[in-house]
């Protein structure tokens, strides 16, 4: 891609790199020195800027705050063995960002703004991409409605920003998850497939309740009958059942995960049979009891591949196999990481070298 965007660059007076402890990187708390921003005004994107990372002054009347027009994405940049930086499947994240935008009545972001904004930011904050094993630079694109207007309608103006934060895996251990059968994350015809703020907001109370019971995460089920497994909110879900990789099919209530898509592509290439279909709670619970469900994991950009160790359902706890013994998910996680970190051939062209 040729650089066509006129980006104004204001550099931070000092870098925070020297005071950042890279051995202590909680997810999403430490931001790099700069951010990229753009504004949608008068029907077009303008004001392309790299700025020192920091507050963006705004009116308390903006519609994002009142009516929830806000969307985001999650991607990662990796340090390759030769020191270069690679972003994994940025095109797919842009595609999903724009699907979210359409559903939320927001403007889409043209590819050159997203990609050139990101490339410029990453080149400037290049030293922030960690080199430790399993670490990466998490990239958070976000767009929110900025009309200071309390009438209910789609905003005319928006802010787009790219934030970057060095991080390790979102989850550090195998998860104890609860199958949620009271609250719901998404309904048919709603916005479940969009990465919009409200989907996360509505999950917070049920999640906090589950945490009080000792769970790390929820497994959401369908709104109609709580009969089918959908996703985990922070990640998609995959199971190994009778040796096959089985994952809930993408529907209007389930986010079309980029990591999920990558995993099923790699699994098929390795000869693992993959089924994308409805997965009932009954099938999983009975499958754990009779040994047919041998592995379960969450997959997402932040979560990467995180084993599920225990599943709680209606007051009972079901124990899965020792994560160290899980050949399918451990094998796929290694193949995936080797591609992302440039340790094996990227035959799909998923790595975008900056």
Of 202 and 292, nearer to ligand COI (C-beta) is 202
User: Does residue 157 contact residue 58 with C-beta atoms inside 8 Å?
Assistant: no
Look at strands 34-41 and 316-319 and give their pairing.
Answer: unpaired
141 binds ligand COI (CB under 6 A): no
First-to-final CA distance of the chain? 11
User: Does residue 76 contact residue 301 with C-beta atoms inside 8 Å?
Assistant: yes
Closest separation between CB of residue 319 and ligand COI, Å?
26
Q: Which two tokens stand for residue 18?
A: 């020297």
The Cα–Cα gap between 264 and 272 comes to 9
The Cα–Cα gap between 185 and 223 comes to 8
193 binds ligand COI (CB under 6 A): no
Closest separation between CB of residue 9 and ligand COI, Å?
27
Q: At what angle do helices 90-103 and 258-269 cross, to 10 degrees?
A: 130
Residue from 118, 161, 186, 302 in contact with ligand COI (CB under 6 A): 302
Phi, psi of 40 (to 5 degrees): -105, 115
Binding mask 15-54 for ligand COI (x = CB under 6 A): ----------------------------------------
The Cα–Cα gap between 237 and 138 comes to 21
Q: Which two tokens stand for residue 188?
A: 């048919």
| DSSP secondary structure letters along 164-179 | EEEE--S--S-EEEEE
Q: What angle do CA 117, 123, 124 make, to 5 degrees?
A: 90
Closest separation between CB of residue 29 and ligand COI, Å?
13
Residue from 117, 141, 192, 300 in contact with ligand COI (CB under 6 A): 300
248 binds ligand COI (CB under 6 A): no
Closest separation between CB of residue 210 and ligand COI, Å?
16
Closest separation between CB of residue 303 and ligand COI, Å?
6
Closest separation between CB of residue 76 and ligand COI, Å?
8
Binding mask 216-245 for ligand COI (x = CB under 6 A): ------------------x-----------
301 binds ligand COI (CB under 6 A): yes
Residue from 48, 74, 206, 239 in contact with ligand COI (CB under 6 A): 74
Look at strands 136-145 and 75-79 and give their pairing.
Answer: antiparallel
- Return the range that interacts with ligand COI (CB under 6 A); candidates 13-21, 45-53, 298-306, 310-318: 298-306
User: Does residue 165 contact residue 32 with C-beta atoms inside 8 Å?
Assistant: yes
Of 258 and 296, nearer to ligand COI (C-beta) is 258
Of 210 and 288, nearer to ligand COI (C-beta) is 210
Instruction: Give the residues lining the site for ligand COI (CB under 6 A).
Output: 74, 170, 234, 300-303
């Amino acid at each position: 891609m040729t650089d066509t965007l006129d980006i104004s660059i204001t550099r931070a007076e000092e870098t925070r790199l020297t005071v950042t402890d890279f051995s202590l990187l909680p997810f999403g708390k430490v931001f790099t020195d700069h951010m990229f921003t753009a504004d949608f005004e008068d029907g077009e994107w303008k004001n392309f800027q790299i700025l020192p990372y920091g507050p963006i002054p705004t009116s308390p009347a903006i519609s994002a705050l009142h009516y929830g027009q806000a969307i985001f994405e999650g991607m990662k940049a990796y340090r390759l063995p030769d020191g270069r930086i690679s972003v994994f499947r940025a095109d797919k994240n842009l595609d999903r960002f724009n699907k979210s935008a359409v559903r939320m009545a927001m403007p889409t972001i043209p590819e050159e703004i997203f990609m050139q904004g990101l490339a410029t930011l990453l080149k400037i904050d290049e030293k922030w991409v960690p080199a430790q094993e399993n670490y990466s630079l998490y990239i958070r694109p976000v767009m929110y409605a900025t009309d200071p207007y309390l009438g209910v309608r789609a905003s005319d103006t928006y802010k787009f920003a790219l934030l970057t934060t060095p991080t390790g895996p979102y989850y550090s251990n195998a998860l104890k998850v609860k199958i949620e059968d009271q609250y719901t994350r998404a309904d048919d015809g709603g916005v479940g497939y969009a990465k919009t703020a409200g989907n996360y907001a509505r999950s917070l109370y049920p999640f906090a309740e589950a945490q009080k019971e000792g769970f790390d995460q929820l497994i959401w089920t369908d709104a109609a009958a709580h009969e089918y497994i959908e996703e985990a909110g922070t990640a998609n879900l995959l199971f190994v059942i009778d040796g096959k990789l089985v994952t809930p099919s993408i529907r209007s209530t389930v986010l079309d995960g980029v990591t999920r898509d990558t995993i099923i592509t790699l699994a098929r290439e390795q000869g693992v049979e993959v089924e994308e279909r409805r997965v009932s709670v009954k099938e999983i619970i009975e499958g754990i009891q009779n040994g047919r469900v041998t592995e379960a994991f969450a997959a997402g950009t932040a979560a990467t591949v995180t084993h599920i160790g225990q599943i709680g359902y209606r007051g009972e706890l079901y124990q899965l196999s020792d994560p160290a013994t899980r050949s399918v998910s451990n094998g796929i996680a290694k193949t995936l990481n080797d591609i992302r970190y440039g340790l094996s051939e990227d035959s799909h062209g998923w790595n975008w070298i900056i």
